[in-house]
Amino acid sequence: MFFNIPSHSGDPILGLLEQFRSDPRPHKVNLGVGMYYDEAGAIPFLASVKEAERRVVDAATARVYLPMEGERAFLEVVAPLIFGAALTDQLPLATIQTIGGSGALKIGADFLHRFFPQKNVWVPSPTWDNHIGIFEGAGFIVKSYPYYDPETRKFAGDAMLATLAEASRGDIVLLHPCCHNPTGVDPTKEEWTSILDVLEAHQLLPFFDMAYQGFGAGQDEDAAPIRTWAERGRDVLVSLSFSKTFSLYGERCGALCIRAGDAESAGNVLAQLKLAVRRNYSSPPTHGMRLISTILNDAELRAQWLAEVEAMRVRIRSMRSALAALLRKLQPAHTHDYLERQTGMFAFTGLSVHQVARLKDEHAIYAVDSGRICVAALNEGNLPVVAKAITEVLRST
């Protein structure tokens, strides 16, 4: 039966990680997948997570099935991260623990498709490649709205608003509340107001995908567009990933939070989310969730974790500035200001597919085909090599 199954070219991001791991060149640099590396070039094991792990292991018992929606102690601390404590208390919410941010998107997509199969899903152009795959996989027609202008390297606000104004009532709009992946270009506060106004005027349903809370401007600042929308009393879906912010990529822990019309509808939505979980994987895993829940439920560990996220944010910013400074020296005729304007883990360099291939083949530097590099993987040691290699591929192509 399987003789005629075609192969697949591989995932544009995770496939790169496979290639990087099997590359024998000792000086290789991975700027492909979005993972935070510390100054020593290692994925950090956060001190708050280490302490939480000690406590969780000390208290370990047999692992029974968790409830389909996840453990209460975890769920209670998730929504306030998104909406802030005061607002959370006033909102009719359905929250579940998920298998990473991808799992939250998948459960959200399955739930939406079950009840609104005729709606379109709008994603920014460009966006994280898997957004399209997940929503198409759930059965939706996925359309894109302009987001980024490659000429100016800035947010294409007018084009985005004009396109969304043409969307049909009830269509679903995928938004990155902060640290846009892959461009690093985020709307300003005023631009967010215009976006939310269009969503409201045309009765569109936002689905915010928040994978980098705290890596942009700060914990509260990064969630601001979601909070403003919720304050307007409107429905919303939010997927949350803890992979990057807790440096717990392999634990696959995230959450999906839906603000529904009232307490009764939130209860019904939760029942449907549980059904979607059951149909996909029955119930979520324990370990990563317990680490995160231990940290967020303990004032001291929570403060330590917040400081660790802030330190990551500051280091990413300093790497942006350092790369821009080096490129200014090596390519004085060009402006590199865009690097410092962008936020979060990624920089959108404008490198072509061909130039990205040359970076890999000739310099053992891995980037995504779109020209996205992970700034969070730069350090004082690899910066000069990366800046020189980028300059070389730009000069001779």
Catalytic residues: 128, 209, 244
According to CB under 6 A, which one of 29, 30, 31, 33 is a site residue for ligand LMR? 33
Q: Which residue's CB comes closest to ligand LMR? A: 34
Work out the number of other CB atoms within 10 angstroms of the CB of residue 394: 18
Interaction pattern, residues 183-222, with ligand LMR; x per rule: CB under 6 A: ----------------------------x-----------
Q: How far is the CB of 249 from ligand LMR (least distance, A)?
A: 8
φ, ψ at 139 (rounded to 5°) = 115, 0
DSSP label at residue 290 = H
Which parts of 35-74 interact with ligand LMR (CB under 6 A)? none
What does R_g of the chain's alpha carbons equal in angstroms? Answer: 21
- For residue 161, count CB atoms less than 10 angstroms from its CB and return exposed for 0-12, middle for 13-18, buried for 19 or more: middle
Minimum distance from residue 27 beta carbon to ligand LMR (Å): 22
Give min distance, CB of 37 to ligand LMR, in A: 13
Torsion of CA 127, 12, 134, 170, to 10 degrees: 20
Give whichever of 301 and 378 is closer to ligand LMR, judged by the CB atom.
Answer: 378
In the complex, minimum distance from the CB of residue 120 to ligand LMR, in angstroms, rounded to a whole number: 24
Considering only residues 20, 31, 34, 192, which one is a binding residue for ligand LMR as defined by CB under 6 A? 34
DSSP string over 166-179: TSPTT-EEEE-SSS
The size of the interface with ligand LMR (CB under 6 A), counted in residues, is: 6
| Cβ closest to ligand LMR, residue 127 vs residue 294 | 127
Phi and psi at 256, nearest 5°, equal -125, 130
Q: Which amino acid appears at position 45 of this protein?
A: F
Query: How far apart (Å, rounded) are the C-alpha atoms in residues 350 and 101?
Result: 27
Residues within window 118-177 making contact with ligand LMR, judged by CB under 6 A: 128
What minimum distance in Å lies between the beta carbon of 240 and ligand LMR? 13
Residue 184 vs 187, nearer CB to ligand LMR? 184
Q: Which is nearer to ligand LMR, 33 or 68 (CB)?
A: 33
Binding mask 8-27 for ligand LMR (x = CB under 6 A): -----x--------------
DSSP state of 250: G
Measured between alpha carbons, how far is 343 from 209 in angstroms, rounded to an integer? 16
What phi-psi label fits residue 110: left (phi over 0), alpha (psi between -120 and 50 degrees) or beta?
alpha
Instruction: Classify residue 67 by its DSSP letter.
Output: P
Please report whether residue 99 would count as binding ligand LMR according to CB under 6 A.
Answer: no
371, amino acid identity: G
243/294 with CB nearer ligand LMR: 243
H helix runs in the chain, sequence order: 14-22, 47-58, 72-83, 85-90, 100-115, 129-137, 157-164, 189-201, 219-222, 224-231, 263-280, 287-296, 299-330, 337-341, 353-363, 383-395
- Cα separation, 207 vs 139, in Å, equals 16
Q: Which residues contact 383 (CB under 8 A, 6 or more apart)?
A: 319, 322, 323, 326
Taking CB under 6 A as the criterion, the residue among 48, 163, 181, 247 binding ligand LMR is 181
Q: Which is nearer to ligand LMR, 204 or 211 (CB)?
A: 211
Nearest distance from C-beta of residue 30 to ligand LMR, angstroms: 11
Least separation in angstroms between residue 244's CB and ligand LMR is: 8
Closest CB to ligand LMR among 157 and 184? 184
Instruction: Tell me which residues touch ligand LMR (CB under 6 A).
Output: 13, 33-34, 128, 181, 211
